[in-house]
Every structure is written in C-alpha cells, then in structure tokens.
C-alpha cells in the first residue's frame, strides 16, 4: 500500500511541477489528498501490519498520520487562499503544490517506517522539500532562512546519522542483520550501554532541529518566521511530530536498558532548557509568526518532560503532541487573515481585530486560550497530567521552575494577543469578505481539542495506550 502511495505521490508531484497549470495543480493535489485519506483508513484498519520491507502500521504512526491528514486537508484550503491573495503565477503555484505533495509524502514515510536508516532518509527528504516551500516568496529574508535551514538541518541530520551509524555497529555486533526498531529494542539488553548513550545523545541532538528543541532550535525558528502561513501550519505541527517520532522510537530502544535513567535525565535537561530559552526569547519577539514558533519550542519542551518522567507522562506526552498540532495549525491559519488585513507582520501594527471582525476575533481569542493551556483547552489536561507525573516522580524542583516559566510565557503572549484584539484600530482598516468563512476551520480545530480533552473517544485513547505500550 505504501509503495503505491509513494509512486502516486511522485507521479502527481512531477505532473504538477511540469504542467505549470493552476487548475491541474489543484486538481491533482486534491486527488492526492484522497489517496492520503485512503492510506490513513487502511493503516487504521490494519494495526501492526508490516507493509513493504521496512514499514509498519503501528499505533504511533497511525495516530500522527491521522493528524497529518487532517492538517493536509485544511492546509490545501488555506494554501489556495494564500496563493490567490499573493496573485501567484502558475509556475510558482505548481512548484508550491509539487513540493507540498512530496513534503507530506516524506512525513508519511517517516511516520510509518520501522527502520532507523530509512527514518533518517525520510527526514532528510523533508528538509529538501520544505526548503522549496520556505523559499516560495523569493524574498531576501526567505533566501537567507532557506539556506540557514538547509545548512543547519543538514548538519543536524548528519549528527543524527553518526548516532545511527554507532547504533548499526553495536547492532551488528549483537547479530542483527537490519536496523529495525523492534529488533534493536529486543536486543537492547545486550547492547553496550556506553555506545547506546552516545547514539541516543547524537540522535537527540541531530533531530532536535526538527522537534524545535534545544540545542538546534534556532534554524527552525527563522524558517517559520518567513515561510508562508499554510506551510508553517505543517512545519510547526506535522514536521515537529516527525522529529518527535524519531526521538520516541530511539527512546524505546534505550527504555529496555540500564541507560534509561540517564536518558530520562537528558530529556529533563533538554525540556527545561527549551522552555527557559523560549520564555527568554518571547520577551524580545516582535513578529507574530516568530511568537508562534517559540511557542512550539515551549510545548516541545513540555513533551520532553513528559517522556522523561515516564508513567502517565508517556500518555500525556502523546496527548500533548496531538493537541498542540491541532491548536497551532489553527493559529497559523488565522495569520493568513491578520497579515492580509493589516499588510504587516509586526505585532505593533495590529489592533482592533475584535472590532473589525467579531467572529475572527473570537476565534483568535479561543486560540490564545487553547495554546496557553487554559481550561477548557485539551492542552490543560495534557499539561496537568505531565505535572502530575513530575510530582509522582519527585521532580518537584523541575515542576516548580516549569510552572514559573509557563506563567511568564502566558503573560508575554497575553500582551500580544490582547493588543491584536483590543488595541486601537489602525486607520483605514476594514474587514474582508472571507473573514467569517476562514475562521470556520480554526473553530473546528480548537473545538476538537476541547472535545478530545474532556471526552476522548475510545479509539483515540486506545491508539495512545498501544503506542506507549512498547515503553512499559
């Protein structure tokens, strides 16, 4: 099934790229989305089935691919709006949609791959295709951010490759003929602990560029600041989830060894440093996209803490990943409206959004409540469970420091959001006709997060429990 999907993706991407037609670009991308939905349904109905040589429909892959599929549909809609507002030429639009198809296909490959080497190749592919999307507007800032992203991401992926190389060496010494995660986890008790620690540290460092974690977080921040908002909606969610899945699968190997306690301490340190740096940087942020980018870093730091403490923290970490994806995507879709209305990217140029468009303003307010994990947001539930896990594991100092940092972050973000909503309206700003219709999808995403937090369906919780079962 996956091989067919990748062939279809490549063929569609090539047709769109060479056809240079807006009609064909949108038609073939819509057809691709249908294939993506079909793959998602097929994977859910065939749990833990091996597909092709190095792929497996495990629960974590299914869960994150469902999220990816939902966001791919909405990103397609907002991409059309974005491209129309920019009056994009057919050639540029075809490049955009061709790269977007291959970007989504590469992330799908990373979600389902069972082989650590193929995971590395899939993540490298995401770097190449998303770089095309970052450079879409062809501005000086876009060029600089693209080269930075390509260079530092390649360095990060190279660091991760060294970790994978060490993993292959210690795997071969234990009689393994491949680098499948399940086989590595099974043989983990025989693996040299020192080399395993080095491998984990290198993989965590390298793939932190995708997860927006310390230490290689900076390049992702710059890229998200200049990329188109629909692209940002995937970069800050689905691509971040790819970074998570790479570290999570490596962590499942370490979890079966004596190095587990050491790895948990590394994740604790990484998580608290990421939240601290995000809090410091948010005090200096003047652009809305950049604020959202550092918000992603903060939330991934929280996820790292959940993984570090284990127990209920495992469940909460996956819950947080899903909720964050839906909320952050909704906020980035909202940026489409704000930038089009104010003709600016600077927070100080915004104001009176609630008065200009009450429906869009209410959506943005609900997004602020959701992303800062205030009740009734589902992120409140996941963060509460992570703090509960921290206290259960007697990580009281870490919990208190995190609470202080998150309080500061809420205060900083509240100032920016309230300025956008309630500051005096700039002169000659009038609402746009599409504002109410553009707010529908963010409302749905924010509402879905509230619903899943209060009353999660059985299939949803079963997927999460099945995904974390490999750690227990």
Higher pLDDT, 186 or 396: 396
pLDDT, mean over the chain: 90
27 in any annotated domain = no
What token pair was written down for 383? Answer: 């963060």
pLDDT score recorded for residue 435:
65
Which residue do the tokens 């992303």 mark?
A: 371
Look at the alpha carbons of 191, 161, 181, 302 in this order and tell me if their dihedral is positive or negative: positive
The answer to whether residue 112 scores a pLDDT higher than 80 is: yes
What is the full DSSP assignment across 95-154?
HHHHHHHHHHHHHHHHHHB-BHHHHHHHHHHHHHHHHHHHTTT--HHHHHHHHHHHHHHH
Which domain does 470 fall in, by range? 259-472
- Cβ atoms of residues 229 and 442 within 8 Å: no
Place 28 in a pLDDT band, splitting at 50, 70 and 90: very high
Largest CA distance in the chain: 71
Percent of the chain with pLDDT over 70: 98
> 100-109, 321-330, 337-346, 452-461: which range is least confident on average?
337-346
Burial class (CB within 10 angstroms; exposed 0-12, middle 13-18, buried 19+) of 287: middle
Q: Is 101 in contact with 234 (CB distance < 8 Å)?
A: no
- The DSSP code for 182 is H
Q: Is the distance from CB of 6 to CB of 36 less than 8 angstroms? A: no
Instruction: Output the six-digit token pair for 337.
Output: 């409206």
User: Which of the residue ranges 93-102, 176-185, 244-253 would you say has the lowest mean pLDDT?
Assistant: 176-185
- Split at pLDDT 50, 70, 90, the class of 434 is low
What pLDDT, on the 0 to 100 scale, is given for residue 167?
83
The predicted model gives 417-427 an average pLDDT of: 86
pTM of the entire predicted model: 0.94
CA distance 216 to 226: 18
Q: What is the mean pLDDT of residues 17-39?
A: 94
DSSP string for 315-374: HHHHHHHHHHHHHHHHHHHHHHHHHHHHS--BGGG---HHHH-HHHHHHHHHHHHHHTT-
Residue at 154 is within a domain: no
Who wins on pLDDT, 356 or 129?
Answer: 129
Helices 193-211 and 116-134, packing angle to 10 deg: 20
pLDDT higher than 60, residue 433? no
Q: Is residue 416 part of a domain?
A: yes
Rounded Cα–Cα distance for residues 260 and 272 (Å): 18
Query: CA-CA distance, 18 to 13, in Å (whole number)?
Result: 9
353 located within any domain: yes
pLDDT of residue 432: 61
Task: Quote the number of domains for the chain.
Answer: 1
Residue showing tokens 């057809």 = 31
- Reported as a pLDDT band with limits 50, 70 and 90, residue 69 is very high
- Nearest C-alpha neighbor of 333 from the set 364, 378, 377: 364
3-state secondary structure of 180: strand
Does residue 142 form part of some domain? Answer: no
């Amino acid at each position: 099934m996956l091989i067919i999907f990748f062939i279809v993706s490549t063929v569609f991407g090539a047709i769109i790229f060479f056809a240079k037609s807006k009609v064909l670009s949108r038609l073939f991308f819509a057809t691709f989305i249908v294939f993506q939905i079909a793959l998602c349904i097929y994977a859910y109905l065939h749990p833990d089935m091996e597909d092709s040589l190095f792929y497996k429909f495990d629960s974590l892959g299914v869960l994150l691919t469902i999220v990816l599929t939902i966001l791919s549909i909405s990103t397609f809609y907002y991409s059309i709006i974005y491209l129309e507002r920019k009056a994009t030429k057919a050639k540029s639009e075809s490049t955009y949609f061709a790269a977007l198809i291959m970007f989504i296909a590469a992330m799908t490959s990373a979600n389902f791959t069972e082989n650590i080497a193929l995971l590395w190749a899939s993540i490298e592919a995401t770097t190449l295709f998303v770089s095309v999307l970052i450079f879409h507007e062809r501005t000086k800032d876009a060029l600089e951010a693209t080269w930075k992203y390509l260079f530092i991401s390649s360095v990060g992926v190279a660091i991760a490759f060294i970790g994978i190389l060490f993993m292959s060496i210690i795997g071969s010494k234990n009689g393994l003929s491949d680098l499948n995660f399940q086989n590595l986890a099974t043989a983990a008790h025989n693996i040299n602990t020192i080399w395993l620690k080095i491998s984990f540290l290198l993989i965590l460092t390298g793939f932190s560029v995708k997860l927006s974690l310390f230490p290689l977080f900076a390049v992702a921040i710059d890229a998200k600041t200049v990329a188109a908002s629909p692209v940002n909606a995937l970069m800050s969610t689905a691509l971040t989830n790819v970074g998570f899945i790479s570290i999570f699968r490596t962590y499942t190997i370490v979890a079966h060894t004596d190095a587990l306690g050491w790895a948990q301490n590394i994740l604790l340190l990484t998580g608290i440093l990421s939240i601290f740096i995000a809090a410091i940087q948010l005090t200096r942020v003047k652009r809305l996209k950049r604020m959202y980018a550092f918000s992603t870093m903060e939330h991934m730091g929280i996820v790292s803490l959940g993984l570090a403490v284990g127990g209920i923290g495992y469940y909460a970490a996956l819950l947080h990943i899903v909720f964050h994806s839906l909320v952050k995507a909704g906020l980035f879709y909202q940026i489409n409206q704000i930038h089009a209305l104010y003709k600016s990217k600077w927070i100080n140029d915004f104001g009176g959004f609630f008065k200009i468009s009450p429906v869009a303003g209410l959506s943005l307010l609900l997004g602020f409540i959701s992303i800062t994990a205030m009740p009734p947001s589902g992120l409140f539930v996941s963060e509460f469970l992570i703090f509960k896990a921290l206290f259960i594991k007697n990580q009281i100092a870490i919990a208190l420091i995190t609470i202080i940092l998150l309080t500061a972050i809420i205060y900083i973000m509240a100032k920016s959001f309230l300025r956008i909503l309630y500051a005096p309206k700039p002169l000659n700003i009038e609402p746009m006709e599409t504002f109410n219709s553009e707010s529908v999808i963010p409302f749905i995403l924010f509402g879905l997060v509230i619903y899943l937090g209060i009353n999660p369906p059985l299939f949803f919780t079963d997927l999460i429990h099945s995904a974390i079962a490999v750690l227990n």
